[in-house]
């Protein structure tokens, strides 16, 4: 294994302005990577983050819109000069009980959580392959094989993204590596209270929430390890074991 020097490289991080995406952008910038920080609606936070990440830029796109999505990789490559890495982090995590689930809700979840990252990986991966090297990390979820009953569109999409990760790893090899990170109890959903925090902690063998930096470190590992491809790395404090 020859570690990849991340310094001087470039990356596109979707959903990079907040939460886990923000931690990933900061970790990459800390290694000397110039980052294209994608956002849909958190533009002020993205611009504040870009000021902290030297040489980084902000790109806005609604990943549910095919036209906006299709412009994202070319814009990142043009403004950064090239594109070495892609981190597909953006997602929608909507509660959709089966009795209330309608087709538009299903289609939006699939569009943002599966279709968008697949085609971004395809577009970026073909550019990277032509350039001779590159790496992609898709952010999925620890519970794709144990999905929550009230969030089925989300988990169907994330399970599809894990399958796509393996297929893309084969299709883009040997020049481009494609892996996934599957977070577990990292951050509470927005609006969650103490009861959920206690339940998540008690269900995790390590007895604590992980924090977004744990996911960011896993992303750095996969981007920097030149002999790992087609893998999904769980970062879940052992949650999978229970």
Which residue is listed with tokens 């970026």?
124
Q: pLDDT at position 77, please?
A: 98
Is 10-234 CATH 3.40.50.720? yes
Active site members:
154
d(CA 130, CA 126): 6
Distance CA 73, CA 96 (A): 31
Helical H segments across the chain, by residue range: 19-30, 43-52, 66-80, 103-110, 116-131, 152-172, 194-202, 212-224
Q: What residues does each domain of the chain span? A: 10-234
Q: Round to whole Å and give the CA distance between 175 and 197.
A: 42
Cα 155 to Cα 53: distance, rounded to the nearest angstrom: 32
Q: At what angle do helices 19-30 and 212-224 cross, to 10 degrees?
A: 50
Strand partners, 183: 235
Q: Which residues of the chain have pLDDT under 50?
A: none
For the stretch 62-115, pLDDT in tens is 999 999 999 999 999 999 999 999 999 999 998 899 999 999 999 999 999 999
């Amino acid at each position: 294994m020859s570690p990849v020097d991340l310094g001087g490289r470039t990356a596109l991080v979707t959903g990079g302005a907040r939460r886990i995406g923000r931690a990933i952008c900061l970790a990459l910038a800390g290694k000397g990577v110039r980052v294209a920080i994608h956002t849909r609606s958190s533009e002020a936070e993205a611009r504040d983050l870009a000021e902290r990440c030297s040489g980084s830029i902000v790109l806005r796109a609604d990943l549910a819109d095919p036209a906006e999505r299709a412009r994202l990789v070319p814009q990142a490559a043009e403004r950064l000069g090239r594109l070495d890495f892609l981190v597909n982090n953006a997602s929608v995590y909507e509660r959709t009980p089966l009795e209330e689930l309608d087709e538009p809700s299903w289609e939006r979840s699939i569009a943002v959580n599966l279709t968008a990252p697949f085609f971004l990986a395809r577009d970026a991966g073909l550019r990277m392959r032509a350039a001779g090297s590159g790496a992609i990390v898709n952010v999925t979820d620890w519970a794709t094989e144990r999905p929550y009953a009230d969030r089925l569109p989300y988990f169907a999409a994330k399970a599809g993204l894990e399958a796509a990760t393996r297929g893309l790893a084969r299709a883009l090899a040997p020049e481009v590596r494609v892996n996934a990170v599957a977070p577990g109890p990292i951050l509470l959903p927005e609006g969650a209270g103490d009861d959920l925090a206690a339940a998540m902690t008690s269900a995790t063998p390590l007895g604590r929430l992980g924090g977004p930096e744990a996911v960011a470190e896993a992303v750095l590992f996969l981007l920097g390890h030149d002999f790992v491809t087609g893998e999904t790395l769980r970062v879940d404090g052992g949650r999978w074991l229970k």
